[in-house]
């Protein structure tokens, strides 16, 4: 009876698995069936250790940037972050890419969101509210590698830097919209540094392996990750190009692409505290003017003639009136990208491949799944319309960001001192030693007039 039940269960399971029992399994009298090994995962994504290390690094960054005002401390922290988050964890997972997990986790019912990962993403954001973008300057491996590679910083002219500075917002919103419908994680896919981190990870491990104690205990195989598919290909070429650019342009990824920076920078603007160029009062000596390689130090504003007041007011009114137009235009423009972007969803991609006809693994998979090409296209159309909605929201938000930027430009604020632009500053501490007041504080020089 039990045996019959077992066979029934087996048959049912086989049916479910799409398998057919063409040859009944033999009933051995003496032979014992081997078991199917199921080695357990060595690591499950983000662990609490990663969270603890991130928290410690962020705390250290705040301390070195605000209390100790030590560039050296910040550099040491960022090297440690590069070593651990970059080369030990092979650059995966990072809060930058994990935004997509949160986006998918919030909208899709079948996506798991682990608690450490959530904390890992939100910890730098919370820190930004307290001390600014300390994450970028000291805890982010992507930031660290860019900072290290900088040899001779060239200025990016404002007319170019301002529009390029909008890219991170577009990237963030597009990637979140795509992740929200279950599409590819393009931030992970287009990360220019992950190939380097993985290659470095393997190189480090090769050394460790060579020095591994001569016992019969093999190294855990999850440690022996040799990337090959990722290191070849267009993305890696782009990665090398970005690395080359990093030598002359400071933090190009941080400033002009990083989607996480697009969240951190507005939070940093309203931060409770932030590091400053000078430890006390600015004496307007202009020594820090060229200190910042990412142009985050704003000079005092020139005195404007009273006659320009009216023109300024007119442009302000114009910008204020522009809001609905900008939001609507951007929402509409973003939906135009939906059909092309939808291909980055596996189901849409497969439906399109099948629709093209011909024999393909996608076609075989369709035959196995019992769906008709029509049903696949229907599903693809539904997903595409979801993406269109998500992109409309993303585009509207982008319009809003654009409007806020325009508004900030048309508002005239008197700046008397050299001040830090909190939205751009990554608290790298480069400017500290340029300030004579700082040198005075450190007792390197005498009293400054």
Partner 1 sequence: MNPSQDNQSQSDTDSASQKKELSRRDFLRSCLRGSAVVGIGGVIGVATARSSAAGSVWQIDPAKCTACGRCAEACILTPSAVKCVHAFAMCGYCKLCTGFFDNQPHKLNSGAENQLCPTGAIVRTFVEDPYYEYKIDEPLCIGCGLCVKGCSSFGNGSLFLQIRHDRCVNCNQCRIVDRCPSQAVRRIPAAQAYIIKGKEPKR
Positions 42 through 71 that interact with partner 1 (CB under 8 A): 42-46
Q: Which of 273, 364, 381, 382 binds partner 1 (CB under 8 A)?
A: 364
- Give the span between the Cα atoms of 41 and 205, in whole angstroms: 19
Please count the other Cβ atoms lying within 10 Å of the Cβ belonging to residue 438. 20
* DSSP tag of 28: -
Binding of residue 161 to partner 1 (CB under 8 A) = no
Q: What is the CA radius of gyration of the chain?
A: 27
Binding of residue 226 to partner 1 (CB under 8 A) = yes
Cβ closest to partner 1, residue 38 vs residue 307: 38
| Binding residues among 196-215 for partner 1 as defined by CB under 8 A | 198
Binding of residue 306 to partner 1 (CB under 8 A) = no
C-alpha atoms less than 13 angstroms from C-alpha of 221 in its C-beta half-sphere: 3
- Least distance from C-beta 222 to partner 1, angstroms? 6
Q: Which of 4, 41, 213, 305 binds partner 1 (CB under 8 A)?
A: 41
- Give the span between the Cα atoms of 243 and 251, in whole angstroms: 10
SS3 112: coil
Instruction: For residue 387, give both structure tokens.
Output: 């993406």
Q: What is the secondary structure of 174-216 as a DSSP string? A: HHHHHHHTT---HHHHT-SSHHHHHHHHHHHHHHHHHTS-SSS
CA-based nearest residue to 102, from 122, 86, 85, 129: 122
Binding of residue 320 to partner 1 (CB under 8 A) = no
Q: Which of 53, 93, 254, 319 binds partner 1 (CB under 8 A)?
A: 93
State the distance between the two ends of the chain, measured CA to CA, in whole angstroms: 99
Q: How many residues bind partner 1 (CB under 8 A)?
A: 86
SS3 324: helix
Instruction: For residue 36, give both structure tokens.
Output: 């199917």
| Binding residues among 368-387 for partner 1 as defined by CB under 8 A | 368-369
Cβ closest to partner 1, residue 136 vs residue 264: 264
CA-based nearest residue to 257, from 267, 247, 265: 265
Binding of residue 248 to partner 1 (CB under 8 A) = no
Mask 121-160, x = binds partner 1 (CB under 8 A)? -x--xx--x-------------------------------
Binding of residue 20 to partner 1 (CB under 8 A) = yes
| Binding residues among 275-294 for partner 1 as defined by CB under 8 A | none
Binding of residue 117 to partner 1 (CB under 8 A) = yes
Find the part of the chain contacting partner 1 (CB under 8 A) among 145-153, 184-192, 313-321, 334-342: 184-192
């Amino acid at each position: 009876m039990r045996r019959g039940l077992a066979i029934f269960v087996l048959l049912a399971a086989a049916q479910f698995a799409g398998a057919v029992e063409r040859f009944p399994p033999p009933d051995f009298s003496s032979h014992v069936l081997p078991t199917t090994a199921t080695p357990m995962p060595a690591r499950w994504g983000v662990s609490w250790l990663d969270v603890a290390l991130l928290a410690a690094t962020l705390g250290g960054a705040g301390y070195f940037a605000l209390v100790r005002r030590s560039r050296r401390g910040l550099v040491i922290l960022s090297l440690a972050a590069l070593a651990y988050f970059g080369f030990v964890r092979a650059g995966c997972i990072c809060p930058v890419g994990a935004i997509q997990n949160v986006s998918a986790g919030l909208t899709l019912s079948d996506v798991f969101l682990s608690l450490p990962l959530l904390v890992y993403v939100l910890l730098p954001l919370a820190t930004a509210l307290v001390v600014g973008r300390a994450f970028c300057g000291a805890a982010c491996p992507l930031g660290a590698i860019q900072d290290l590679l900088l040899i001779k910083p060239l200025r990016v002219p404002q007319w170019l830097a301002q529009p390029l500075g909008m890219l991170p917002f577009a990237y963030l919103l597009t990637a979140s919209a795509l992740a929200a419908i279950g599409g590819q994680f393009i931030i992970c896919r287009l990360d220019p540094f992950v190939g380097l981190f993985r290659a470095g990870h393997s190189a480090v491990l090769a050394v460790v392996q060579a020095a591994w104690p001569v016992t019969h205990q093999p190294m855990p195989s999850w440690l022996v990750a040799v990337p090959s598919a990722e290191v070849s290909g267009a993305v890696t070429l782009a990665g090398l190009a970005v690395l080359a650019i990093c030598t002359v342009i400071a933090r190009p990824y941080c400033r002009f692409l990083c989607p996480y920076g697009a969240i951190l920078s507005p939070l940093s603007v309203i931060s409770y505290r932030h590091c400053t160029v000078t430890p006390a009062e600015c004496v307007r000596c202009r020594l820090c003017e060229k200190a910042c390689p990412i142009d985050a130090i704003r000079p005092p504003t020139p005195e404007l003639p009273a006659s320009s007041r009216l023109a300024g007011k007119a442009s302000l009114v114009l910008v204020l009136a522009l809001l609905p137009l900008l939001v609507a235009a951007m929402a509409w423009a973003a939906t135009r990208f939906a059909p092309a972007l939808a291909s980055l969803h596996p189901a849409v991609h497969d439906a399109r491949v099948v629709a093209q006809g011909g024999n393909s693994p996608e076609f075989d998979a369709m035959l196995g799944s019992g769906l008709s090409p029509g049903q696949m296209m229907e599903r693809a159309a539904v997903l595409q319309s979801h993406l269109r909605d998500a992109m409309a929201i993303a585009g509207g938000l982008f319009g809003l960001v654009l409007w806020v930027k325009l508004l900030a430009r048309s508002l005239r604020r008197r700046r008397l001192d050299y001040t830090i632009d909190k939205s751009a500053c990554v608290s790298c501490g480069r400017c500290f030693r340029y300030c004579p007041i700082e040198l005075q504080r450190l007792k390197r020089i005498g009293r400054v007039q």
